[in-house]
Amino acid sequence: MQTTKYAVVKNQWEQILAFKLTSFTSLIIFVILASLVSCQSKTKLYKPVIDGEWHTITHQPDLGQYTGKEQEPVDFAVWQAEDGTWQLWSCIRFTNIGGNTRLFHRWEGKSLSDTAWQPMGIAMQADTTLGETAGGLQAPYVFKENGTYYMFYGDWGNICLATSKDGKTFTRVLNEKGNATLFTGPLYNTRDAMVIKEDNTYYCYYSAHNKEYNKSAEPQTAIYCRTSTNLKNWGEPVVVSRGGSAMKQSNWHGGDAECPFVVKVGKQYVLFRNQLYGEKSLNTQYSSSDLLNFGDNNDEFMVSQLNVAAPEIIKDGDQYYIVALNTSLDGMRIAKLKFDVVTKN
């Protein structure tokens, strides 16, 4: 009788223990699965971080007869030419060239660490015989593909195209109308083009704004994107970024969405969007997995802000660099750059 009672009690304790172990194990599994789901629900975004000291690479250029007392080097492009030298072309505004006062000047550096790039003179002026606005050249951007350098630039009202084989001397690509225009609009002063290629499609980002401030609370300017598979025929414009908190951080109605620059980092795309030049330089960054959506009048994809103006991002080997305007608007500076991971639910 005692043996039977002992066996029954033992069996009951074993069942209880087994139940507790099973419940504990289930709890552990639940916690692990919940953690995995939580991690998967968080999106990995990237924000840019200046990773070193700045040093100046270009200074105020001598434009000869076109030199203006108030001239300023502004939006620019940086790339490596066929001979290995680095090229920097900048729009110089407030010169004495007439019209809208702008032209392109060129510098050349032996390396990105070169602290004194050599001024090489005026590189391009507006050609009014081709329909370009006098003194209206703006914001060049250059990339190389299959042995050809492609330069996108603004002529005050249109995005235009020129090409080169050596990365130094460019020739306009004329369309069936006999000018270099690729597209324009939908708003005023179409400018600041840059191009990124993904899956055989070219994405051209650019800026434009309302010609007159309509004094409404709605965005007055935007960053647009058009796509192409051949660099000749371009689709309809898509608004990819406008408004949000950055809209209140500029000093004129068309200034809060300028100088777009997009960098692919991991599976994300980071958009640099400019608000201010000069001593109070300000640029806002957005991280998105969608090349055509960085937030329409919201901060959903906003990850950071930097005190820089009109930045261009270069990747040389595994190292990123950021080139931006000097705060005194008399040249350009460069620093190393990295992208830190941030997460959002």
In a domain, 81, yes or no: yes
Give the model's confidence band at 142: pLDDT under 50 very low, under 70 low, under 90 confident, else very high: very high
In a domain, 219, yes or no: yes
pLDDT digits (tens, 9 = 90+) for 275-299: 999 999 999 999 999 999 999 999 9
Residues 221, 292, 341, 52, CA torsion sign: negative
Full residue range of the structural domain in which residue 190 is found = 44-344
For the chain, the domain total comes to 1
The mean per-residue pLDDT over the stretch 108-114 comes to 94
pLDDT digits (tens, 9 = 90+) for 11-67: 665 664 455 556 556 556 554 555 544 445 578 999 999 999 999 999 999 999 999
Percentage helix, strand, coil, to 5, in the chain?
Answer: 15, 45, 40
- Beta strands 332-344 and 138-145, pairing class: unpaired
Listed range (28-37, 135-144, 191-200, 323-332) with the worst mean pLDDT: 28-37
In a domain, 33, yes or no: no
Give the model's confidence band at 215: pLDDT under 50 very low, under 70 low, under 90 confident, else very high: confident
Task: Give the CATH number for residue 270.
Answer: 2.115.10.20
In a domain, 22, yes or no: no
In a domain, 303, yes or no: yes
The mean per-residue pLDDT over the stretch 127-151 comes to 97
Say what percent of the chain tops pLDDT 90.
83
In a domain, 32, yes or no: no
Of 136, 189, 176, 182, nearest to 163 by C-alpha is: 182
In a domain, 89, yes or no: yes
* 262 Cβ neighbours under 8 A, 6+ residues apart: 194, 196, 203, 205, 269, 270, 271, 272, 291
Which pLDDT does position 42 carry in this prediction?
A: 75
Does the pLDDT value for residue 8 go beyond 70? no
Across-strand partners of 86?
A: 80, 109
Instruction: Supply angle C-alpha 46, 51, 55, rounded to 5.
Output: 130
pLDDT digits (tens, 9 = 90+) for 326-344: 999 999 999 999 999 998 7
Instruction: Supply angle C-alpha 322, 326, 327, rounded to 5.
Output: 120
